[in-house]
Amino acid sequence: MTERRLIENGDRLRALRDDLRVADEQLAHFDDEAEDARIRSLVSETPIAEREHREAERHAQAMRRHRDEVAAEIAALEVHQDALLDQLVAEGGS
């Protein structure tokens, strides 16, 4: 039973690490867009440019939150995996 839980945990970790890589790429893209929009807003000083900057910044912040949530879930699963490994060793040593 512990081995099966370890396998499931490992599968979930792999999927989350893939999600984290994608989130990192998307975050870099959104950060670049937000920075471009900020510069356009400063240069043009128009309400439209400012609105576009705020919107781009909101997208980047949302992606940052998502990325942080995925990273936190990975950290929790790694702790769980360590506990399962300890349990497996204890079961094998009995």
For residues 91 and 2, give the distance between their C-alpha atoms in angstroms, rounded to a whole number: 9
Per-chain mean pLDDT for the chain: 95
Confidence band for 91, pLDDT divided at 50, 70 and 90: confident
For residues 77 and 20, give the distance between their C-alpha atoms in angstroms, rounded to a whole number: 14
For residues 70 and 72, give the distance between their C-alpha atoms in angstroms, rounded to a whole number: 5
| Rounded percentage of the chain residues whose pLDDT exceeds 70 | 98
Question: How high is the pLDDT of residue 6?
Answer: 92
What 8-state DSSP symbol labels residue 1?
A: -
Confidence band for 10, pLDDT divided at 50, 70 and 90: very high
In angstroms and rounded to an integer, the radius of gyration of the C-alpha atoms of the chain is 21
**Residue for token pair 């790694």:** 78
- In the predicted model, is pLDDT for residue 94 greater than 60? no
What 8-state DSSP symbol labels residue 46?
A: -
Residues in the chain, how many? 94
Question: How high is the pLDDT of residue 76?
Answer: 97
Question: How high is the pLDDT of residue 93?
Answer: 58
